[in-house]
Amino acid sequence: MSTLSWNCRGLGDPRTVREVLDMASRKKPDFIFLMETKVARDHAERLRVKLGFQGLFYVDNRGRSGGLALFWRTNDTVRLLSYSRNYVDVEVRVDGLAPWRMTGFYGFPDFGDREESWNLLRRLRFRSMLPWVVLGDFNDLLFQYEKRGRCRHPESLLRGFGEALEDCGLIQIPMIGYQFTWEKGEGTEDWVEEKLDRVVATDEWRGVVEGARVYNVLTRRSDHSALFLDIRPGEGFRGGSRQFRFEMAWLLDEGCREVVEEAWGGRFAGPDREMWYKVAEVGW
């Protein structure tokens, strides 16, 4: 069982639609949550048909912004609990697991509205007692190291977001891969990267779905990465999507060796976004 979450920044571009289809083909998620779809429902319905999924719940965009879409592969696995322009909240029932709750969340992007995002999470907390996981673009940071750029993030916002998660009993699930999920101004002195997208869950949910892992999936058609939440009931990753493992034998291939040497050749002192693109192209 798995979920793909992505702030796609608009489904009106056919290249974005192709990227969604490509990720779905490679990752084979059971659920897909898309934010900032920016199109009418009929666009999302056509995407559902192309995906071969049976279910879709759509929150309409307003003008040229907004829009949420939750797709599910198989009927009878989802029951809608509530929704708004900023979230879709569902009960999930899949074979091999007790019922649990999943919320696709899109936080308010403006600094002045962050408290509204935090209070929305607090209100959602008490709408169901099921084990709970929340994923999406929170438009918020928890720590200074979740940002790389010229200006520090306001401490009051770090503290406010952290307190909201604590009040809700939500704990961040560590992310595998590149540690920033959004960037702006690449190649300029104003280049900023931040970890705005994440998956958080209650202890109860982590007890139900032991071994859940979150991967950062770098994308081409948005300034946001996608997140892949992978769950293999009772068996971790055995028999499922395999983790990336570098094979020394690949270096015997001249083209592969050139890619790896260029990516890991020390151009950057810290983690490099392009390196992760190239590693993904080589073997993940």
Rounded to whole angstroms, how far apart are CA atoms 237 and 230? 8
Nearest in space to 176 (alpha carbons), one of 278, 271, 104, 248? 271
Mention every residue, 6+ apart, whose C-beta is less than 8 A from residue 237.
211, 213, 230, 243
For residue range 40-87, what is the model confidence (pLDDT) as tens digits? Answer: 999 999 999 999 999 999 999 887 788 999 999 999 999 999 999 999
Give residue 134's pLDDT: 98
CB 101 within 8 A of CB 90: yes
CA distances from 59 to 20, 34, 82, 104 (A): 18, 10, 11, 12
For residue range 23-35, what is the model confidence (pLDDT) as tens digits? Answer: 999 999 999 999 9
CB 150 within 8 A of CB 192: yes
For residue range 161-197, what is the model confidence (pLDDT) as tens digits? Answer: 999 999 999 999 999 999 999 999 888 888 999 999 9
Give residue 84's pLDDT: 96
Report the CATH architecture of 2-243.
4-Layer Sandwich (3.60)
The confidence band for 273, taking pLDDT boundaries of 50, 70 and 90, is low
CA dihedral 170, 174, 176, 179 (to 10 degrees): 90
For residue range 87-143, what is the model confidence (pLDDT) as tens digits? Answer: 999 999 988 889 999 999 999 988 889 999 999 999 999 999 999 999 999 999 999
Phi/psi for 279 (5° steps) reads -60, -40
CA distances from 129 to 102, 169, 177 (A): 12, 12, 32
Task: Give the domain ranges of the chain.
Answer: 2-243, 245-284
Give residue 188's pLDDT: 85
